[in-house]
Structure 1
Amino acid sequence: MKNVHIIVATGEWEQDQLRYRRHRLAEFLQRHPDTKEVIWLCPAPMVKGNSCTKLANGIIQWTVQDLLPQKVFRFGRYINGFYKKKLAPFLLYLREFQEKYTLQLWYTFPGFPLLAELFNWNRVIYDCSDLWASPMNGKRSIPAAVRENIIAGAEDRIIQRADVIFCTSEYLRTKIEAKAGTAGKVFTFENGVEFDLFANTSVQTENILPAGFHGTVLGFIGGIKPKLDFELIQEAARKKREWLFLFVGPDGTNDHPAFNHLLGERNVVWTGSVSPSEVPQYMNLIDIGIMPYKSSQYNQAVFPLKLFEFLAAGKSVVGMNLPSTKRYAEDSIYTYLDTDDADQFIGACEQLESCKGQEESIRKRKKLAKSKNWNEVFTEMFRLI
């Protein structure tokens, strides 16, 4: 009997032009020979026209309109009364599959928790990639505490209902096991990499770096969010004017002043959002990949997608305040820092700068990344369910 996979996602497929773990998971399931259909179920601030559409890749996208379009009203995604009626057409749509196929419900964030109880699912899986209830910027406030309670309550319901739970870090696994009350259904699967895509270093995008610049490029690629330490990078940029700091990705900071101040430095370049297919071309401009995260509870749980993507491209990497990555630290490959000190960050980058062209180091970086290919990660996860 073939499977119909329903993936509960945070937003529409091309919401910010970024490709997350959930996108790779959906595409893996879509290619699997035992799959009949993959349905991408997601909230949307505004639903234009038909809420059910077929994407170019063959995946069905079903959108559920938020309470109101403003970001502050997203809490409705976690409270039954604000989405239950909106799910009714979707549940009716699923009935045509119920007798012929196995229905697998995948949560990739703790939205719509009631959905797990409204249908007779063959399997409920929670693929947890973040500490969803914790504020990303690390700041505590009364609104943040209310939000945390709402999301934590929704997640607890999903944890109790789930048959299998996957976590991207050991920190998350420990947290979830404590809530689940059992270790038997919780497993750690770190993020992987589309190795062949990022290992192609033959093409670089043009007209991004300043004319005549031939120095060292330190780069961050991905969603630019408050979890990053903009103040530290600004201090480093002022102390190392001969370096260029390249940021590639959409601004998810909500116009954060610290990010705007950073962009005022003459050796900082931000490209804005780029197409996922173009990301490897920007990767090839970079000499050292940087993951400058703040020290926060949220970042304790993070396993960044970019670690193995940088390594697949042959780039050395410096990561900060990401304890889930510490075990990959190795000279000339990956430097891990558990600090907010700009001078230590600069020192680590200077050390990697001295070996940026070493063929043996490049080979070792690629070898590590190749062992983390997404297909192998998802194949093992699929075997467990």
Structure 2
Amino acid sequence: MKKVHIIVATGKWEQDQLRYRRHRLAEFLQHQPDTEKVIWLCPTPKEEENSYTLLANGVNQWTVQDLLPQKVFRFGRYVDQFYEKKLQPFLLYLGQLQEQYTLQLWYTFPGFPLLADLFDWNKVIYDCSDLWTSPMNGKPSIPSAVRQRIIARAEGRIIQRADVIFCTSEYLRTKIAEKQGTAEKVFTFENGVEFDLFSNPPVHKENVLPAGFDGTVLGFIGGIKPKLDFALVQEAARKKREWLFLFVGPDGTNGHPAFKQLINEKNVLWTGSVAPSDVPKYMDIIDIGMMPYKSSQYNKAVFPLKLFEFLAAGKSVVGLHLPSTKKYAEESIYTYLDTDDSDQFIRACEQLEGFKDQEDYIRKRKILAKTKNWNEVFTEMVKLI
């Protein structure tokens, strides 16, 4: 029998124009010969004219309206009574497919936990890419503590119900295995890369850099969120005026003052959101990739998507407070730092600066990245299911 894959996602497909692991997973499954269809099931803050739409890539999107549009009410995604009735039309639709197809439920975040029990699924899979039970900004508060308890209960139910669980880091695997009580069905699969896309980029974007600038460009590409250390980068930018610090991606900080202060520096440039198809072009502008994360419980679990994308593009990378990436540290390839000292960050970048145009090192970076192609990652995951 052919398969129908239902992917529980955090938001609509084109939300903030970013492509996460779940997007690559959906497209991989969509192109498998035994797949009938992929359904992207996601919450949406606002009422949709049509809850069911067919996306241009062939993925089917089904939205479930939040309790209320304000962000504070998103906790309803984890509490049964706030979404159970809204799922009924979707369940009726699934009932029409059940006799013809094998149905697999993929959780990519711990929302709608009751869904796992409302239907007779052939398989339930949890693909965990974040420490959902810890605040992203690393700062505890009473509201965040309440929210994290709600999420923890929802995630615990999904963990117990899942037939197989995938994690993007060993830290996450250990945490989930503790909750599960066994590690037998919990596996680590780090994030991968669309190697061909990044290793052979199109001509880079024109008119991005300041007129006449020919110095070193340090770049971050992705969602700009509170997990990043804006203060450290600002210190580095003030000390190294001859460098340009480029940020490419949407502001996910809700206008945090630290990010506003950073982009006011004369050698810091923020592009805002860009189309996913343009990301390799911006990657081509960058000399050194930077992943400046804060020291926090949340970031202990993070395996950033951009590590292998930078390397596939032949760029060296420096990362802060990302222990899941430490094993890839190698001279001229990837520098791992566990520090809040901007001077250490600068010294690491200066060392990488000396290797940036050397073909032997560019080739080594690409060789490492090629071993992490998404198709191979997902193929191995599907074999375990």
Amino acid at match of 2:95: R
Q: Is the 8 A contact 2:110 2:158 kept in 1?
A: yes
Partner of 2:191: 191
Amino-acid identity (%) = 80
Matched, 1:356 2:356: yes
Q: Residues 202 and 19 of structure 1: is their aligned pair in 2 closer, same or farther, counting only changes over 3 Å?
A: closer
Which letter does structure 1 place at the counterpart of 2:100?
K
Q: 2:264 — aligned with what?
A: 264
328-337 vs 202-211, which deviates more? 202-211
Within-5 A mapping of 1:202-221? 202-221=202-221
- Distance in 2 of aligned mates of 1:136 and 1:355: 33
Q: Which AA in structure 1 matches 2:154?
A: A
The Cα offsets for residues 103-157 of structure 1, whole Å up to 9 and x where unpaired, read as 0000000000000000000000000000011100000111111011000000000
Where in structure 2 are there 5+ consecutive unaligned residues? Answer: none
TM-score, length basis structure 1: 1.00
Specify the alignment match of 1:98 in structure 2. Answer: 98
The residue type paired with residue 71 of structure 1 is K
Residue 149 of structure 1 pairs with residue 166 of structure 2? no
CA distance in 1, matches of 2:184, 2:17: 36
**Cα deviation, residue 48, structure 1:** 2.2
Q: Which runs of 5+ in 1 are unaligned?
A: none
For residues 342 and 18 of structure 2, what CA distance do their matches in structure 1 show? 28
3-state SS in 2 of match to 1:277: helix
> Number of paired residues?
385
Which whole-Å CA distance do the structure 2 matches of 1:34 and 1:295 have between them? 43
- Alpha-carbon distance between aligned partners in 2 of 1:264 and 1:15, rounded to the nearest angstrom: 26
Amino acid in structure 1 at the alignment position of 2:114: L
Q: Which amino acid aligns with 1:108?
A: T
Q: Deviations over 1:60-91 (max 9, x none)?
A: 10000000001000000000000000000000
Separation in 1, partners of 2:37, 2:296? 39
- Amino acid aligned to 2:239: K
Amino acid at match of 2:177: E
| Residue 69 (structure 1) aligned with residue 72 (structure 2) | no
**Structure 1 Cα separation of the partners of residues 66 and 202 of structure 2:** 43
Aligned counterparts of 1:134 and 1:125: Cα–Cα separation in 2? 22
Give the corresponding residue for 2:303: 303
Hey, what's the Cα distance between the residues in 1 that align with 2:42 and 2:274? 23
SS in 2 for 1:245: strand
1:284-339: CA deviation from partner (whole Å, max 9, x where unpaired)? 00000000000000000000000000000000000000000000000000000011
Whole-Å Cα distance in 2 between the matches of residues 209 and 28 of structure 1?
35
- Three-state SS of the structure 2 residue aligned to 1:283 is helix
Alignment deviations for residues 179-232 of structure 1 (CA, whole Å, 9 cap, x no partner): 111111000000000000001145110111000000000000000000000000
Contact 2:315 2:362 in 1 (8 A): yes
For the Cα contact (< 8 Å) 2:237–2:243, is it kept in 1? yes
TM-score (norm 2): 1.00
User: For 1:221-240, what aligned pairs fall within 5 Å after superposition?
Assistant: 221-240=221-240
Given the alignment of the two structures, is residue 282 of structure 1 paired with residue 282 of structure 2, yes or no? yes
**Structure 1 position 42 matched with structure 2 position 42:** yes
